[in-house]
């Protein structure tokens, strides 16, 4: 099927879709997109700039490969890709990986650096799944014929920490200002770029990327060093931005008593993941809204534009946006714990697949933040269903509050400044 021709948006308007990090939480994004994609199509504003980070890069690649289809078919294809992302198709069982981990760890302990430990989980199954689940020929064709103007995947260079945007585009790429820790490279996207973007440090092994040759090297999850997740979409020329995240739009509420409770390894891990995966998007949405307010002030905007253009920077402009993410950080954690207890908490289930139980115990099984950690690794169809339901719910809530979809000012009822 072909996309709807009943466009109501300007033909030259660029709409960007930004899909942030989340591991198994990406099921939430799939649910939200089931609601958002038809709305965008009805407005004649199908995304032509796609930016993905970590698990979001897998979805952005899948969407690039189906951009020639209508929104309903795109959603169906996304659900098919999600359905294949079960644990056996993503990571190797720990019991199979344990000898390799032990050998590599012992090697490094003894100073034999030729046999390095790069991650606790083996992700060979994910590479095979991506190779077959995404129509790579269609992806390249959709970029070449202009159906998609740019498809960018964010990864982090291990040694330098440089944020690298592997970008397939028929047009020119932006050159960020000096001092920015971000670079764009023309790339023919493939499995290694997606693997690199989603390689959560320590958990998943870093990935060697060989193409393009000028940026060849070892990479990990793009979320680890990027601090402005919306910037690539704007630098790639977006006039409007749709963002779907998996972290809360609201910061945690103050609770002095809770802060005094004992913590463990799992709590530290959950806090680190939240800082890396969730906080930057919330802060960047606030900055976008503030910039929109500055651009709307004619007198101030003129003064700021002269100042910025004099320094070789682009003038401020108003960029309408739509943002869907969980209102509460506990939503996905709660359903993760419910699914874990139902599907993985019994002795029989543990004997059949001990990996999650082992991780649960190693990281402190009584921690109230355990659900936060498990939600990144729970590649379980029941969790996917529950998370997708939350995504659909929150996307509908956004549309109910913003019938035209777009907002320029602060999040307001959807979030608070912090």
3-class secondary structure, 308: helix
Q: Which residues contact 255 (CB under 8 A, 6 or more apart)?
A: none
The overall average pLDDT reported for the chain is 83
pLDDT digits (tens, 9 = 90+) for 81-132: 999 998 888 876 665 655 565 555 555 555 555 555 555 677 889 999 999 9
Active site residue 221: yes
Return the DSSP state at 202: T
**CB 295: neighbour CB atoms within 10 A?**
18
Residue from 20, 221, 284, 331 carrying the catalytic annotation: 221
Provide the CA 277 distance to its chain's centre, in angstroms: 8
Q: Which residues contact 239 (CB under 8 A, 6 or more apart)?
A: 13, 14, 15, 319
pLDDT digits (tens, 9 = 90+) for 34-85: 999 999 999 999 999 999 999 999 999 999 999 999 999 999 999 999 999 9
The structure tokens 């038809």 sit at: 38
Residue from 20, 26, 54, 206 carrying the catalytic annotation: 54
With a pLDDT cut of 90, the percent of the chain lying above it is: 52
Does the pLDDT at position 196 exceed 70?
yes
**CB 60: neighbour CB atoms within 10 A?**
28
Does the pLDDT at position 310 exceed 70?
no
Active site residue 365: no
Closest by CA to 231, choosing from 273, 279, 285, is: 285
With a pLDDT cut of 70, the percent of the chain lying above it is: 76
Taking CA 390 as the corner, what is the angle to CA 226 and CA 74, rounded to the nearest 5 degrees? 75
Instruction: Choose the weakest-confidence range: 120-134, 247-261, 344-358.
Output: 344-358
**CB 340: neighbour CB atoms within 10 A?**
23
Return the DSSP state at 217: E
Long-range residue pairs from 5-14, CB within 8 A, at least 24 positions apart, any chain: 6/42, 6/44, 7/43, 7/44, 7/45, 8/42, 8/43, 8/44, 8/45, 9/43, 9/44, 9/45, 13/45, 13/239, 13/240, 14/48, 14/49, 14/149, 14/236, 14/237, 14/238, 14/239, 14/240
Confidence of residue 418 (pLDDT cuts 50, 70, 90): very low
């Amino acid at each position: 099927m072909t996309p709807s021709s009943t466009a109501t948006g300007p033909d030259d308007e660029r709409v960007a879709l930004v899909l942030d990090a989340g591991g198994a939480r990406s099921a939430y994004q799939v649910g939200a997109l089931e609601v958002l994609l038809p709305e965008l199509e009805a407005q004649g504003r199908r995304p032509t700039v796609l930016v993905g980070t970590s698990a979001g890069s897998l979805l952005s690649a899948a969407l690039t490969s189906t951009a020639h289809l209508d929104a309903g078919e795109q959603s169906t294809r996304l659900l098919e890709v999600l359905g294949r992302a079960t644990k056996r198709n993503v990571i190797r069982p720990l019991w199979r990986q344990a000898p390799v981990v032990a050998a590599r760890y012992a090697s490094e302990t003894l100073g034999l650096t030729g046999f390095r430990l790069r991650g606790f989980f083996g992700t060979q199954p994910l590479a095979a799944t991506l190779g077959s689940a995404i129509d790579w020929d269609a992806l390249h064709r959709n970029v070449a014929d202009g159906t998609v103007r740019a498809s960018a995947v964010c990864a982090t260079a291990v040694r330098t920490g440089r944020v690298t945007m592997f970008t397939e585009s028929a047009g020119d790429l932006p050159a960020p200002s000096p001092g920015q820790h971000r670079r764009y490279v023309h790339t023919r996207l493939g499995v290694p770029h997606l693997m690199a973007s989603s390689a959560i440090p320590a958990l998943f092994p870093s990935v060697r990327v060989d193409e393009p040759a000028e940026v060849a090297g070892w990479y990990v999850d793009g979320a680890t060093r990027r601090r402005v997740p919306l910037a690539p979409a704007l630098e790639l020329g977006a006039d409007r931005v749709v963002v779907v995240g998996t972290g809360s739009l609201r910061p945690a509420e103050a609770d002095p008593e809770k802060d005094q409770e004992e913590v463990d390894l799992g709590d530290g891990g959950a806090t680190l993941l939240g800082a890396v995966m969730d906080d930057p998007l919330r802060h960047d949405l606030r900055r976008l809204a503030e910039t929109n307010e500055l651009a709307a002030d004619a007198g101030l905007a003129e003064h700021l534009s002269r100042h910025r253009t004099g320094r070789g920077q682009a003038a401020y402009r108003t960029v309408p946006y739509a943002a869907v993410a969980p209102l509460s950080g506990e939503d996905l954690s709660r359903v993760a714990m419910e699914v874990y207890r139902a599907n993985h908490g019994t002795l029989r289930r543990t004997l059949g697949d001990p990996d999650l139980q082992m991780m649960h115990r190693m990281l402190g099984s009584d921690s109230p933040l355990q659900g936060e950690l498990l939600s990144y690794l729970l590649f379980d169809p029941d969790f996917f269903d529950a998370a997708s339901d939350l995504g659909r719910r929150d996307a509908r809530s956004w549309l109910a509050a913003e019938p035209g979809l777009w907002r320029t000012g602060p999040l307001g009822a959807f979030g608070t400044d912090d």
